[in-house]
Chain A
Amino acid sequence: MTTVLYLIAGVIAAAAVLIVLLRLITGPTLIDRLIASDVMLTTLILVIGAEMVISGHTRSIPLMVVLAATAILGSVAVARFITRAGGDQSGPIAGEDDDARR
């Protein structure tokens, strides 16, 4: 019974990651890709926790702590980079500088 539930959860998570990967590849702007990679990292943390529940061990908890604490670094660094480099050259229609933030 629990095995079936674990299998369902795994299939749902795999489908979610594939859909997020679609957005990560096709996302029109850099911010879309940033959000998609953020969701993917969150899913990674969740899957690590789920794997511990399924296999019945607790060895990966330090990994979860480190990932939860450092997940912010990438988003904030890239967000600042986007704001500094792209904010001054792009409105909704950005003309020739459009490629700089895609």
Chain B
Amino acid sequence: MLDAEPWSGILDLIAAALLIVAALLTLAAAIGLVRFPDPLSRLHAATKPQILGLILVVIALALSARSGTVLLLLVPVVVFQLLTAPISAHMVGRAGYRNGDFDPDSLIVDELAPDVDAAPGAELPGGSWTDERDAVDRSDDEARPSKGPSAGS
């Protein structure tokens, strides 16, 4: 597309720099995975390269390929990742909260705990398979009130 020679070298340099930034984001996520104390904090670190890193790599690829067709093919990659990353992060975070794999004292606000305590069967509207498990969860919290997920409230 661009036939001017100096431009192609500059664009390749920019693409390489973007690749390095994306790799640094991945390294930051890896360090966060090792250094952070509990799974919910690690989840926060893990989502950095998922969106921004992918967007940087896709921009680098578009800069290096320099073709409209490639750009058209790269859009669904970002769109799919934008659609699915929050869902999987939500499900993993929910599982982490439910299993109590975090330090309740580290929370500033725990908005889920009053809901779970007040309406154990109604966390999902219409209830489903969660009903029976929520009932068990509540008895679990009453048995160990100081250690349950609701202790931060």
User: Is A91 a contact partner of B88 (Cβ separation < 8 A)?
Assistant: no
Q: Secondary structure of the B side of the interface?
A: helix
B76 at the interface (CB under 8 A from A): yes
A61-B74 CB under 8 A given contacts A39-B46, A88-B137: yes
CA distance A50 to B85 in the complex (A): 20
User: Is B73 a contact partner of A61 (Cβ separation < 8 A)?
Assistant: yes
A45 proximity list for chain B (CB < 8 A): 54, 57, 77, 81
A68 → chain B closest CB, angstroms: 4
Q: Secondary structure of the A side of the interface?
A: helix
A49-B95 CB under 8 A given contacts A19-B31, A20-B30: no
User: Is A53 a contact partner of B88 (Cβ separation < 8 A)?
Assistant: no
CA distance A5 to B12 in the complex (A): 10
User: Is A88 a contact partner of B140 (Cβ separation < 8 A)?
Assistant: yes
B119 at the interface (CB under 8 A from A): no
User: Is B57 a contact partner of A50 (Cβ separation < 8 A)?
Assistant: yes
User: Is B42 a contact partner of A76 (Cβ separation < 8 A)?
Assistant: no
User: Is A61 a contact partner of B140 (Cβ separation < 8 A)?
Assistant: no
CA distance A15 to B88 in the complex (A): 25
| Chain A residue total in the interface (Cβ 8 A) | 58
User: Is B77 a contact partner of A86 (Cβ separation < 8 A)?
Assistant: no
B33-72 interface (Cβ within 8 A of A): 33-34, 39, 42-43, 46, 49-50, 53-54, 57-58, 60-61, 64-65, 67, 70
User: Is A79 a contact partner of B91 (Cβ separation < 8 A)?
Assistant: yes
User: Is A38 a contact partner of B64 (Cβ separation < 8 A)?
Assistant: no
A39-B94 CB under 8 A given contacts A52-B61, A61-B74, A69-B84: no
Question: Which of B26, B148, B149 is most buried by chain A, counting CB atoms within 10 A of its CB?
Answer: B26
User: Is B34 a contact partner of A72 (Cβ separation < 8 A)?
Assistant: no
A84 proximity list for chain B (CB < 8 A): 129, 133
Binding site for A on B (CB under 8 A): 12-13, 15-17, 19-20, 22-24, 26-27, 29-31, 33-34, 39, 42-43, 46, 49-50, 53-54, 57-58, 60-61, 64-65, 67, 70, 73-74, 76-78, 80-81, 84-85, 87-88, 91-92, 94-96, 98-101, 129, 133, 136-137, 140-141, 144, 147-149
6 nearest A-B residue pairs (beta carbon): A5-B16, A72-B84, A19-B30, A75-B88, A49-B57, A79-B91
